[in-house]
């Protein structure tokens, strides 16, 4: 199991497999703090009560160490792992985790109470899977390790696949497999062998509670005071996350978030900070020149690399093994490439992730509110009636994909009518939304009707459709930011960065996700985030203290690649082989006719269906990589992207 995690921890490994205890722990180490053997894991507490396998960093470990030392604790080395264990001895596990600032996944065996504890950081920066294989409880940082357990069965959860197709990822608490799940952020699971394998779950921190409290009791201060308080909090977070015994740098995209982090790093560093950017020759995706200008202004040691389409596409072959379950946010491609660039010079890189969700950076926070106000002008029964009529036309259009249908000759796929149907289909999705949160969920969805794509799939509940997560007193923008913090950020953004960076043994750190910054952002009045049609108002005011406004005052760009064009061009033959109906049928998951419908629309340019097709392609690649081809062998002619182009630290245990 630990060998499968070697990329996450290439520097050392350790195992604790006692003959007289029903628990085994394994660890792979990426040495960041205390590079000596005193930082090795699994690690025992001083009194012998606890043994831990810990992945992550505790950024305030020095302050905790001082408090514990004053109370009588002694230390063998200088690692944050040893500080955690001393905290467990002195304060207990739950209180220690509440006192800790950091990112982590951990497993602890309590010898005295004969109890196993699994826990994950507040926001979900570090992954932790767990589940049951026959009569064994297994857990690990990645599914690739769990698959090595001799009792692992690997039954695909069709409901989880439906979530993957809808959102592009499998959200917590689910995984792609039956009987295997994810530890939710901010939670602690306790297992006692005497009580069976069902955990007792408690939350030591709750994003939902923080959000509700912030809406109920917002900060009542002047604009200047708010900017000053954020400056103090974020500078402190950046300073703590710069502590490392190995080379450290930062990703710099040229946007507000990464620029803020780098500016604060440079302001507190005696030497120039190392920064890294990826550039694209396509001007629609080119941000490297902005990053270069900011790096020159801040006087960082800047490294950039311009990517060709061929270089980017070669990464696609690696994605199934890089992501331990199918994942379909295609900005994973440049994220991996910038991680590779940084790893040549540093072992730790700070990022600007989290700024959009906390401070109102996404266009949807303004745009969806406008759409919802217009939709509400029509009563719901009227909206549903219009959507139903569109469905009738859509079904008529879909019949042309059936070779036996008489409609095929009379309904041209290239007709103006068909293009109107494609547009009307999108309108129908919005018309069906009864509540504003439904509209938000539709925006995040690729396949909103998973029953059409995956017949018989169970509709699994998520954070988005749990009424307990709604805040009636919040504005629509505040509600969306709240849900993004609990859903999109941990299950998409942080997964993307963690797997891409750890694939090259690079640790990433996110100062915006220091829980003190998160709690402050939750209490900010909306005017501090969205003002005068401008997003991230308070961050812009803060950044004015470090960088002239003209360096970052530009339209927001996504960190992506022109995948929609590639699928119609150099990736067409590769995708065609994967989307072959016979191949899809062997997965025994998808409706091949429905998938082909969407693929043909994309090829003919009637709509950009990249977000719909990429999850299917990633699922196919993942199945082939991890389980062999789709319930059978490779289909004839199915080759890798590389072949097409050629022709033109962590936790484990049980």
Task: Work out the pLDDT band at 115, boundaries 50, 70, 90.
Answer: very high
Residue located via tokens 């951990």? 106
Give the pLDDT score at 39.
Answer: 86
Of the candidates 586, 653, 537, which has an alpha carbon nearest to the alpha carbon of residue 52? 653
- Tell me the pLDDT of the chain averaged across its residues: 88
Is there a domain that residue 538 lies in?
no
Is there a domain that residue 547 lies in?
no
Task: Name every residue whose Cβ is closer than 8 Å to that of residue 246 and which is 6 or more positions away in sequence.
Answer: 31, 32, 35, 346, 347, 348
Rounded to an integer, the average pLDDT of 431-457 is 85
Give the pLDDT score at 92.
Answer: 97
For the stretch 354-403, pLDDT in tens is 999 999 999 999 889 889 999 989 999 998 898 888 766 655 554 454 44
**Coil, helix or strand for 344?**
coil
Contact assessment for residue 42 and residue 51, using Cβ atoms and an 8 Å cutoff: yes
Same domain, 283 and 299: yes
Q: Residue 531 has what DSSP assignment?
A: B
Residue located via tokens 């923080």? 210
Same domain, 99 and 24: yes
Q: What is the spatial distance between Cα 253 and Cα 267, in angstroms, rounded to a whole number?
A: 18
Same domain, 311 and 388: no
Residue located via tokens 């001007």? 283
Domain count, the chain: 4
Q: What residue ranges in 17-121 does DSSP mark as E strands?
A: 25-29, 43-44, 50-58, 102-110, 115-120
Same domain, 232 and 173: no
For the stretch 42-67, pLDDT in tens is 999 999 999 999 999 999 999 999 99
Same domain, 231 and 262: yes
Is there a domain that residue 553 lies in?
no
Q: What is the spatial distance between Cα 520 and Cα 167, in angstroms, rounded to a whole number?
A: 29
Q: What is the spatial distance between Cα 27 and Cα 16, in angstroms, rounded to a whole number?
A: 9
Q: What is the spatial distance between Cα 258 and Cα 477, in angstroms, rounded to a whole number?
A: 23
Contact assessment for residue 233 and residue 520, using Cβ atoms and an 8 Å cutoff: yes
417 pLDDT higher than 80: no
CATH code of the domain containing 513: 3.40.50.620
Same domain, 234 and 354: yes
Give the pLDDT score at 97.
Answer: 98
Give the pLDDT score at 164.
Answer: 95
Q: What is the spatial distance between Cα 387 and Cα 426, in angstroms, rounded to a whole number?
A: 10
Same domain, 36 and 122: yes
Is there a domain that residue 179 lies in?
yes
Q: What is the spatial distance between Cα 561 and Cα 235, in angstroms, rounded to a whole number?
A: 32
Task: Using CB atoms within 10 Å of the CB of residue 373, give its burial: 0 to 12 exposed, 13 to 18 middle, 19+ buried.
Answer: exposed
**Which of 208-212, 445-449, 541-545, 551-555 comes out lowest in average pLDDT?**
551-555
Contact assessment for residue 256 and residue 355, using Cβ atoms and an 8 Å cutoff: yes
Give the pLDDT score at 261.
Answer: 97
Give the pLDDT score at 389.
Answer: 81
Q: What is the spatial distance between Cα 42 and Cα 64, in angstroms, rounded to a whole number?
A: 21
Q: What is the spatial distance between Cα 194 and Cα 92, in angstroms, rounded to a whole number?
A: 21
413 pLDDT higher than 70: no
Q: What is the spatial distance between Cα 518 and Cα 498, in angstroms, rounded to a whole number?
A: 19
Rounded to an integer, the average pLDDT of 506-532 is 97
Q: Max alpha carbon distance in the chain (Å)?
A: 85
Rounded to an integer, the average pLDDT of 18-23 is 88
Of the candidates 16, 177, 206, 240, which has an alpha carbon nearest to the alpha carbon of residue 108? 16
Task: Using CB atoms within 10 Å of the CB of residue 637, give its burial: 0 to 12 exposed, 13 to 18 middle, 19+ buried.
Answer: exposed
Same domain, 131 and 257: no
Of the candidates 440, 523, 534, which has an alpha carbon nearest to the alpha carbon of residue 484? 440
Same domain, 456 and 438: yes
Same domain, 256 and 343: yes
563 pLDDT higher than 90: no
Q: What DSSP element (H or E) covers 350?
A: strand 348-350
Residue located via tokens 């997003």? 535
Domain containing residue 575: 563-648
Is there a domain that residue 215 lies in?
no
Beta strand 25-29 pairing with 650-653 = antiparallel
> Considering 477, 502, 534, which residue would you say is the last residue of a domain?
477
CATH code of the domain containing 174: 3.60.20.10
Is there a domain that residue 536 lies in?
no
Task: Using CB atoms within 10 Å of the CB of residue 410, give its burial: 0 to 12 exposed, 13 to 18 middle, 19+ buried.
Answer: exposed
Q: Cis check for the bond before 205: say yes or no (omega within 30 of 0).
A: no
**Coil, helix or strand for 250?**
strand
Is there a domain that residue 554 lies in?
no
Same domain, 339 and 238: yes
**Coil, helix or strand for 277?**
strand
Same domain, 369 and 356: no
Q: What is the spatial distance between Cα 100 and Cα 96, in angstroms, rounded to a whole number?
A: 6
654 pLDDT higher than 80: no
Q: What is the spatial distance between Cα 359 and Cα 349, in angstroms, rounded to a whole number?
A: 22
Contact assessment for residue 148 and residue 581, using Cβ atoms and an 8 Å cutoff: no
Is there a domain that residue 573 lies in?
yes
> Considering 477, 508, 533, which residue would you say is the last residue of a domain?
477
Give the pLDDT score at 20.
Answer: 85
Task: Work out the pLDDT band at 285, boundaries 50, 70, 90.
Answer: low
Q: Residue 117 has what DSSP assignment?
A: E
| The two three-digit tokens of residue 197, written as one number | 């394998």
């Amino acid at each position: 199991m630990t060998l499968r995690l070697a990329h996450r921890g290439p520097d050392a490994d350790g195992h604790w497999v006692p003959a007289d205890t029903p628990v085994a722990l394994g660890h792979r180490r990426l040495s960041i703090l205390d590079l000596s053997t005193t930082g090795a894991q699994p690690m025992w507490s001083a009194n012998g009560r606890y043994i831990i396998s810990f992945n992550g960093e505790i950024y305030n470990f020095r302050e905790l160490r001082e408090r514990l030392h004053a109370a009588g604790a002694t230390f063998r080395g200088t690692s944050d792992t040893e500080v955690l264990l001393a905290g467990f001895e002195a304060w207990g596990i739950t209180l220690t985790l509440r006192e800790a600032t950091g990112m982590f996944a951990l497993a602890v065996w309590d010898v005295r109470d004969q109890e196993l504890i699994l826990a994950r950081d507040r926001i979900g920066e570090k992954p932790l899977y767990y589940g049951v294989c026959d009569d064994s409880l297994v857990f690990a940082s990645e599914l690739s390790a769990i698959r090595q357990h001799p009792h692992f069965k690997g039954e695909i959860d069709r409901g989880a696949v439906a979530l993957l197709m809808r959102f592009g990822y499998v959200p917590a608490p689910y995984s792609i497999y039956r009987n295997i799940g994810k530890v939710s952020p901010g939670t602690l699971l306790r297992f006692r062998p005497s009580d069976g394998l069902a955990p007792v779950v408690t939350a030591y921190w709750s994003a939902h509670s923080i959000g509700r409290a912030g809406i109920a009791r917002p900060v009542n201060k002047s604009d200047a005071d708010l900017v000053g308080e954020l400056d103090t909090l974020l500078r402190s977070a950046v300073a703590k996350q710069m502590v490392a015994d190995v080379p450290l740098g930062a990703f710099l995209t040229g946007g507000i978030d990464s620029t803020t982090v780098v500016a604060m790093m440079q302001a507190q560093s005696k030497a120039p900070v190392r920064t890294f950017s990826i550039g694209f020759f396509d001007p629609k995706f080119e941000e490297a020149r902005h990053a270069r200008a900011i790096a020159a202004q801040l006087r960082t040691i800047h490294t950039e690399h311009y990517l060709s389409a061929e270089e980017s596409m070669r990464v696609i072959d690696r994605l199934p093994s890089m992501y331990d379950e199918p994942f379909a946010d295609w900005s994973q491609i440049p994220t991996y490439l910038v991680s590779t660039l940084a790893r040549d010079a540093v072992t730790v890189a700070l990022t600007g992730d989290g700024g959009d969700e906390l401070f109102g950076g996404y266009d949807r926070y303004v745009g969806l509110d406008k759409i919802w106000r217009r939709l509400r002008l029509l009563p719901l029964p009227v909206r549903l009636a219009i959507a139903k009529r569109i469905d009738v036309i859509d079904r008529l259009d879909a019949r042309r994909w059936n070779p036996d249908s008489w409609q095929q000759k009379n309904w041209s796929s290239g007709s103006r009518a068909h293009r109107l149907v494609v547009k009307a289909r999108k309108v129908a999705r919005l018309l069906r939304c009864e509540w504003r949160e439904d509209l938000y969920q539709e925006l995040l969805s690729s396949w909103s009707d998973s029953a059409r794509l995956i017949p018989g799939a169970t509709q699994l509940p998520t954070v988005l459709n749990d009424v307990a997560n709604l805040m009636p007193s919040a504005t629509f923008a505040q509600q969306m930011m709240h849900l993004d913090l609990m859903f999109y950020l941990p299950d998409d953004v942080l997964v993307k960065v963690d797997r891409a960076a750890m694939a090259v043994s690079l640790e990433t750190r996110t100062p915006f996700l220091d829980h003190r910054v998160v709690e402050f952002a939750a209490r900010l009045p909306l005017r501090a985030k969205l003002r005068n049609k401008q997003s991230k108002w308070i961050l812009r005011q803060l950044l004015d203290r470090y960088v002239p406004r003209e360096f970052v005052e530009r339209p927001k760009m996504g960190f992506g690649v022109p995948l929609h064009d590639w699928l119609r061009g150099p990736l067409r033959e590769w995708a065609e082989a994967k989307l072959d109906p016979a191949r899809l049928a062997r997965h025994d998951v998808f409706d091949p006719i429905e998938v082909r419908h969407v693929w043909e629309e994309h090829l003919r340019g009637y709509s950009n269906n990249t977000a719909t097709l990429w999850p299917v392609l990633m699922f196919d690649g993942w199945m082939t990589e991890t389980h062999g081809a789709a319930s059978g062998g490779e289909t004839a002619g199915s080759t890798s992207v590389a072949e097409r182009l050629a022709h033109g630290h962590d936790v484990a245990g049980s």
